[in-house]
Amino acid sequence: MSAPNDCAIPAAASSITVEALTGLLESVFLRNGTSAEVARVLAANCANAERDGAHSHGVFRIPGYVSTLGSGWVDGQAVPQVEDVASGFVRVDAGNGFAQPALAAARPLLVEKARHAGIAVLAIRNSHHFAALWPDVEPFAEEGLVALSVVNSMTCVVPHGADRPLFGTNPIAFAAPRAGAAPIVFDLATSAIAHGDVQIAARKGEKLPPGMGVDSLGQPTQDPKAILEGGALLPFGGHKGSALSMMVELLAAALTGGNFSFEFDWSNHPGAKTPWTGQLLIVIDPSKAAGQRFAERSEELVRQMHGAGLKRLPGDRRHLQRARSLAQGIVLDEPTLLQLRTLAGY
């Protein structure tokens, strides 16, 4: 994602408020078969990603949601089943539905357990995650908690030293409170680049940087279409990223009871785009250890990082774009806005 800049709205574009975009996306989801609660949760997630400039996980995802719902691959009416299984452990069966409504259903119990025991785990299975991961953890940090989440996706990444794809992009997200400032939040794929960014580059006809992926013959390529059409992504950092991706498979699938990235088959559901896997969240109450000093210590770390010459923290660009979007609206090109209105039945 490139850094936001102060520029005029292009002639073939319009500005829309976050609230208006959220309402439009809710209409899209409702028209395509979701329940009102699922529509509310997913619309807010996509609109907020677009608000923050995370374009690969914003409205870009809507056609994929629509085609997946139409394919019968995911249940847009699923009601998550929350299971209280231990003093610090919550399970949710998402019912072949989306992961975010499952998290929303379990969130009060998860926070209660984390506050009481100091730490709590949420294991979501039988779920589909098709969105950015940072929105799942940021709200916990805004309440003074530390949160870590992992989710596995569909097979598209070659493990380091292997000759065929096995892992998903398998992102990791982390959020921690910070005194007097927005939380520290990051969300990174364990692949060299997010799959959505490869799709956007292919759509725009742009080349990728070296080291992102290989073609169908296993040869390095900078052509995003070659990666998408029979090729594969590489893990970031070679064997280190590969080890982290393996960890995500174990935590998000093996521990939750979800599918590994290679275990589901959507070939009988043309149009399906959402990985049917699992998600794990760990939430910690730092007051049990460092009290209110944790947020102060977080701020001290940031101060020292700036003192060492760091110009930008993870998440800074998102917060800048968020402020701009809230003040000026979200800029969407006219074809995209027309597509969304058509999908909503307007």
Does the active-site annotation cover 285?
A: no
Label residues 131-148 b or e (16+ Cβ within 10 Å = b): bbbbbbbbebbeebbbbb
Specify whether 197 is catalytic: yes
- How far apart CA 198 and CA 195 sit, in angstroms, is 5
**β 330-333/13-16 pair status:** antiparallel
Strand 119-128 with 89-98, pairing: parallel
Of the candidates 248, 229, 236, which has an alpha carbon nearest to the alpha carbon of residue 212?
236
- Going from the C-alpha of 199 to that of each of 133, 193, 225, the distances in angstroms are 18, 11, 8
Question: Is residue 195 among the annotated active site residues?
Answer: no
Closest CA to 175 of 210, 200, 145: 145
Q: Which of 27, 52, 56, 127 is catalytic?
A: 56
- Rounded Cα gap, residues 173 and 1, in angstroms: 17
| Whole-number Å distance between alpha carbons of 293 and 245 | 32
- Residue 113 and residue 124: Cα distance in Å, rounded? 16
Choosing from 27, 57, 93, 127, which is the catalytic residue? Answer: 57
C-alpha R_g of the chain = 20
* The amino acid at 96: N
Give dist(CA 182, CA 196) in Å, integer.
26
How many angstroms separate the CA atoms of 48 and 139, rounded?
A: 12
- Point out the catalytic residue in the list 52, 93, 187, 197: 197
What's the burial of 271, exposed, middle or buried (CB within 10 Å: 0-12/13-18/19+)?
middle
Q: How many CB atoms lie within 10 A of CB 288?
A: 14
Active site residues: 56-57, 197
